[in-house]
Structure formats: C-alpha cells, structure tokens
Amino acid sequence: MSNDGKILADVVKNVHKRLRQEFFKTGDMESVWTNHCKNVSCLKKYASSMHKLATEHWEQLRISNPATSRINWTWSFLQYYFFAGGLQLHRHKSNSDAEWPKLVLKEQKITVLDVGSCYNPFEEYEELDVLSIDLCPAIESVYQCDFLKVTLGMSTVIDGQNVLSLATNQFHCIVFSFLLEYFPSPSQRWTCCEKAHLLLLREGILIIITPDSKAAHSNARVMRSWREALSAIGFKRIKYEKLQHAHCMAFRKNSVEPELNDEDRELLTSKMYIPQDFYYPSDSENDEKDEIKFTEAELAEGFTNLPMFDE
C-alpha cells in the first residue's frame, strides 16, 4: 500500500483504538458510544478516510487481484445461494420444515441491508435491491443510521437521509463488512447480530467480513467463538473463506431467535470478542503486537478453516 493509503488506514485504526481506550478506562459502553456519535468532526474524517481508502486503494487491488476483494466474495456467494441452487441445497441439508415460507425474490432482486456501508459498494449490481446505512455516510446514496440504536418495527421508515426504523423479517441478506471490529465491546457486536436475525427473512443470509492479514489458522479460535455465539442466536455458518486480508463468513438464519436466560446471554455475548479486547490499547505504534496464544490442538483446529472450506 502507498504512503497515502497507510495514512488513511491509520486514521481508521486510530478511531477504533480511541474507542477501546475510552471503554477500557470507563467501562461505560453507553457513554463512550454516545460521545463518539456526537463527535461529528471525527465521524466525518473517518468516513472520508474509509471512502478514499476503499475506492482508491482497495479498488486497485480488486482490479489487479479480484480474489482479494470482499465485495467480489459477497456477490459471488449471493449468486450461488439465491440463483445457483445454494438455497435449495442448504434447505435439504437442514431438513427444513415443510411449512417454512419459501423465500421469494421480488422482480428477481435480492433485498440487501448493507450496515456500515460508507460508500454503497453493492450499488453496481442490478440484481441487488440495496439499502445502505452508515453512522456517517460518505456519499448521498447511503442513509444515516446508528444500527445499534435504530428501532425495529413493522415497517422501514426513512425521513430524508435518515433511517428512523427498520422492518423485521424484510431482508434476504444483511452485510456486516468491516463493521463488528469497529465496536469496542463484545456486547455491541452481539446486539448487531441479534438485530440482524430479527431483520432477516427465514433462510436469509448474514454476511460477516472482518479484517485479518495473518494466516488462516492464526485467529481460528476467534472465528470459532463467533460461530458458537451466532449459533445460539439462530444462525448456522454455511460458508467460510480466508482471503488475503479478511475472514469472510456466510451465516444462514435457520430458526426463530431462542429465548436465553441472563447467564447464558452473558456467556454468549462474551464470545463475540476480538484479540484487541484483551490488552490495553496504548498510544504506542506497536500496541497491537500482542497476540492470543494457541495450543497445538487449537492450531490443528484452525487448519479446518483453510480457504474454500465448505461446511
């Protein structure tokens, strides 16, 4: 990546770091997030940096090496699942109840909610009917919405450029691309996934893409923990692939959201961790050198998550 690209990436990473610092110091997730959402100058700088980083730097990589692109990966999976027999295959594998309502594509369009979209990268695909939302949109085709706080109801309500509510059981696909690691707390990541489950149609797909430039097995324990947490919500992971710079996962909504007691919910929420949650994010440039240590058994388990491993 060029020097300009590194500067832009540092802007993004530093925002994440500051959020973790504040949460570590105060332990008050609500106030940290509220204050962050009020910091308009920070939000705009983040959005501008992410937009430029994605469209000018990552797009060059996408053109030169399409296999590295999270956008290409998502579109390829949606084609497979909705248009090339994937839905029917997984319905058969799961012994789906015959009374399940069939997923119907209106005018052959896949309804997609792209959360944390920034610049609406899926707009180019005619087969997708995309609602793109972001805390601070970089372009006009993305609507402003705090996904953590937005109301869920019977209908999606948009006022100007602001999403006031989202309809449950409405979307064929929800995309969390480089979203969950933004949040400093596992409980916020859990909340996002719970909301996604409510917003998806049954048999719909949640796409989660999270950055990681290490080898596929390096953070296998993290990916396994997320899979366990999402399974408890009512999602089954049906696709995993490690790209050069990201983990790409597709989860299928298999059931209604189960009822969990407080103890189970707390345990499952804690499973939505990222490695950075376990050390204090200092101001040092080398503060992210620490890594979670793995046993030999865990390393071995990681090799089942090699690229193109179908579950």
CB-CB neighbours of 93 under 10 Å:
12
Contact 78, 87 (CB under 8 A): no
Burial of 5 (0-12, 13-18, 19+ CB in 10 A): middle
Cα 54–230–255 angle (5° rounding)? 115
Query: Nearest to residue 212, comparing CAs of 234, 183, 181?
Result: 181
Q: What is the CA radius of gyration of the chain?
A: 19
Known binder of ligand: residue 134? yes
Query: Nearest to residue 57, comparing CAs of 115, 123, 6?
Result: 6
Known binder of ligand: residue 153? no
What distance in Å separates the CA atoms of residue 125 and residue 9, rounded to the nearest whole number?
27
Cα 207–69–237 angle (5° rounding)? 25
Taking the CA atoms of residue 18, residue 19, residue 20 and residue 24 in that order, the dihedral angle to the nearest 10 degrees is 100
Residue 262 phi, psi (nearest 5)? -60, -40
Binding residue numbers for S-adenosyl-L-methionine: 116, 134
Binding residue numbers: 116, 134
